[in-house]
């Protein structure tokens, strides 16, 4: 569970961070940004579950930031901080699904109460979003198994940084992205070997391997048989 604090006043960010007992709340990391631009970059690099943002900032606003987050389909729980009790701001916050609208200077107890509620709300979202993301990636890999698939390309499909993609994929599946792709390629090749009369080179190509020799080495490492041996064994069944 990670929290991002966004405020153009560095001192304000420091004060807010010191108020938060992250261990008590179950927050793993607290990240900081001092503009909307920096916040967007943080979302690309890290898994953010709770957003605590100032409303008014130069070159952006809390409202614009949350709109961007929603456009990325990130189920982030948002809390706004502001020095102005403007009804229009509160109304727009509600329309964006912002959980709390807190006035500065915020009291420690008030902030903690808001964060406790945010953590409770974010927990089921966190698991659901991770599972959804993995399903999207697996579907994409299967649909494009006949060609090279890069980590950067996969990350672009779900709007995250490649390093974050690798971390979440390993956490959810127990294997690296590259190992998973290899497994899918070899399973696809095994199916083609037993259900078609395609040549080994054709099957290698359809499984995403431009080099037939390399395909043979990977196949044998995975199955302890060459593609020809696997086809013969399968045909005897």
What is the domain partition of the chain in residue ranges? 2-123, 178-236
Report which of residues 171 and 216 the model is more confident about: 216
CATH of domain 2-123: 3.40.50.2300
Residue 94: CB partners within 8 Å, gap ≥ 6?
none
Tell me which residue has tokens 């961070």. Answer: 17
Do 2-123 and 178-236 come out as alike in CATH topology?
Answer: no
| pLDDT tens-place string over residues 147-164 | 999 999 998 888 777 887
Which CATH fold would you assign to the domain 178-236? Arc Repressor Mutant, subunit A (1.10.10)
Q: What pLDDT does residue 61 have?
A: 85
Contact between 35 and 53 under an 8 Å Cβ cutoff? The reply is no
Alpha-carbon span 165 to 177, nearest angstrom: 9
Q: Which two tokens stand for residue 131?
A: 């599972």
Q: Which pairing describes strands 100-103 and 77-82: parallel, antiparallel, or unpaired?
A: parallel
CA distances from 114 to 42, 63, 93, 118, 135 (A): 22, 18, 15, 6, 32
What's the whole-model pTM score? 0.56
Averaged pLDDT of the chain: 86
| 3-state DSSP helix/strand/coil % of the chain, to nearest 5 | 60, 10, 25
Would you place residue 63 in the very low, low, confident or very high pLDDT band (cuts 50, 70, 90)?
Answer: confident
| Whole-number percent of the chain with pLDDT over 70 | 90
Residue 176: CB partners within 8 Å, gap ≥ 6?
166, 169, 170
């Amino acid at each position: 569970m990670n929290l991002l604090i966004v405020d153009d006043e560095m001192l304000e960010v420091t004060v807010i961070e010191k108020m938060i007992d992250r261990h008590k709340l179950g927050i793993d990391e607290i990240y900081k940004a001092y503009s909307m631009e920096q916040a967007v970059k943080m979302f690309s690099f890290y898994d953010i579950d709770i957003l605590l943002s100032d409303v008014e900032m130069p070159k952006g606003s809390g409202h614009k930031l949350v709109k961007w987050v929603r456009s990325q389909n990130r189920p982030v729980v948002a809390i706004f901080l502001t020095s102005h009790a403007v009804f229009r701001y509160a109304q727009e916050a509600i329309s964006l699904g912002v959980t709390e609208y807190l006035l500065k200077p915020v009291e420690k107890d008030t902030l903690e109460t808001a964060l406790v509620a945010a953590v409770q709300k974010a927990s089921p979202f966190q698991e659901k979003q991770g599972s959804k993301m993995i399903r999207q990636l697996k579907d994409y890999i299967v649909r494009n198994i006949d060609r090279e698939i890069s980590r950067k390309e996969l990350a672009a499909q779900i709007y995250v940084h490649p390093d974050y993609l690798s971390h979440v994929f390993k956490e959810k599946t127990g294997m690296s992205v590259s190992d998973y792709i290899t497994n899918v390629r070899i399973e696809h090749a095994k199916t083609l070997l037993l259900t078609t009369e395609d040549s080994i080179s054709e099957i290698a190509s359809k499984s995403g391997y431009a080099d037939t020799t390399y395909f043979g080495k990977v196949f044998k490492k995975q199955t302890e048989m060459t593609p020809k041996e696997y086809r013969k064994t399968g045909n005897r069944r």
